[in-house]
Chain A
Amino acid sequence: MKRLLAGVVAFIAVSGALGAVVGTSGAQISANAAVETAAGARSGYTYMGPETQALQDDDFANPGMLWVDEGQKLWSQPAGVKGLSCQSCHGDAKTSMRTVATRYPAFSPQLGRMINLEQQINYSRTAHQGADAYPYESEELLALTAYISHQAKGLPMNVAIDGPAAQDFARGKAFFYQRRGQLNLACNNCHEQHAGDHLRAESISQGQVNGFPIYRELWQAMGSLDRMFAWCNTAVRAEPYAAGSQEYVDLELYERWRGRGLLIESPAVRR
């Protein structure tokens, strides 16, 4: 009897899921012809309280905008032995950087591997400006990443996962479903199976990454996506990877694909 009941439950679950997929995909294609939004994807914004949402929506009070301002200064500031600024080659960021944040992590032909936006900034600094790379989580790198990501605000995330990205994508997906740490939890255990539920007083989001770099109230500062990954890994008592490690670049690629079509909100405000 028990077995029969389990079979019935499983059947309902499967047919329910199928119904959801068929039901939503058609509507979303017509809503956004360019990038089809992942079914059921919800920005972390929708899990925030009204105060946090208001702080993000107010372009003046949003503390992340302090880093965007700083990034704007750095954009036109010459650096390195060649005396070039970002602007010397790229011109006005409003046009040249408009869509950049939507497509990273991307394959770098020069480096021969997938890199995230931070690594692209540092590549430009070392290769084109003759300057030192910024350390990860430095104020300067956060500021430039925030400034460039902010240019893509309101555009849907749209990363390529085929060709040279395919292997990294597979690794990132495996990372997402790999249990880890003393608590033996994978990303999906919270962010898929329990999104919308509560963990003590905290609501669990889908773990979407469309707002990064974010101003996190817990940190009282700006933080990169890799800092968030490391924070999550530490929270399940796993040893975090280094910021900028290939593991996190791969995971970012999977995460950006998982939330494809969600609009970029950088700099977002989260708890």
Chain B
Amino acid sequence: MPNTRIKVPETAKAGDIVEIRAVIQHPMENGFNVDSQGTTIPVEIITDFVCEYDGGEVFRVKLEPGLSANPYFSFFLKATKTGPVDFHWLDQNGSKTDASVTLTVT
């Protein structure tokens, strides 16, 4: 499973706008690179990134081959109640990488 890095504030006040950051380690092969033998390396990318919080989807990205390696997303979220912030990455072969952090709302 690829490495991921997540940053969610540990605590927030209800109604606060908090910054969420997420990185996944992935080569994001765009299909134009060649290996040392001159053979084209096929496309190998993450296709979807989703963030869920408080029972609903709060952020979704559709990724394309033009993105650079190790895609990094930063976005904002309105803290409503204590609960997990779930992250899901889906690659083109259907394999899923998950991560979850609890956000405590005071």
A residues with CB within 8 A of B: 60-61, 63, 65-66, 69-70, 217, 220-221
Contact = CB atoms under 8 A, between A and B. Distances in A.
Contacts, number: 31
Interface string B3-24: 1010100000000000001010
Contacts of A61: 21, 23, 72, 74
A70 B21 CA distance: 19
27 contacts: A60-B5, A60-B7, A60-B21, A60-B23, A61-B21, A61-B72, A61-B74, A63-B23, A63-B25, A63-B70, A63-B72, A66-B3, A66-B5, A66-B23, A66-B70, A69-B3, A69-B5, A70-B3, A70-B25, A217-B68, A220-B27, A220-B28, A220-B68, A220-B69, A220-B70, A221-B27, A221-B69
Nearest to A215: B70
Query: Which of B3, B7, B74 has most A Cβ within 10 Å?
Result: B3
Given A60-B5, A61-B72, A220-B68, A66 B25 contact: yes
A200 B7 CA distance: 39
B66 to A, nearest CB: 12
A63 B68 CA distance: 11
Contacts of A65: 5
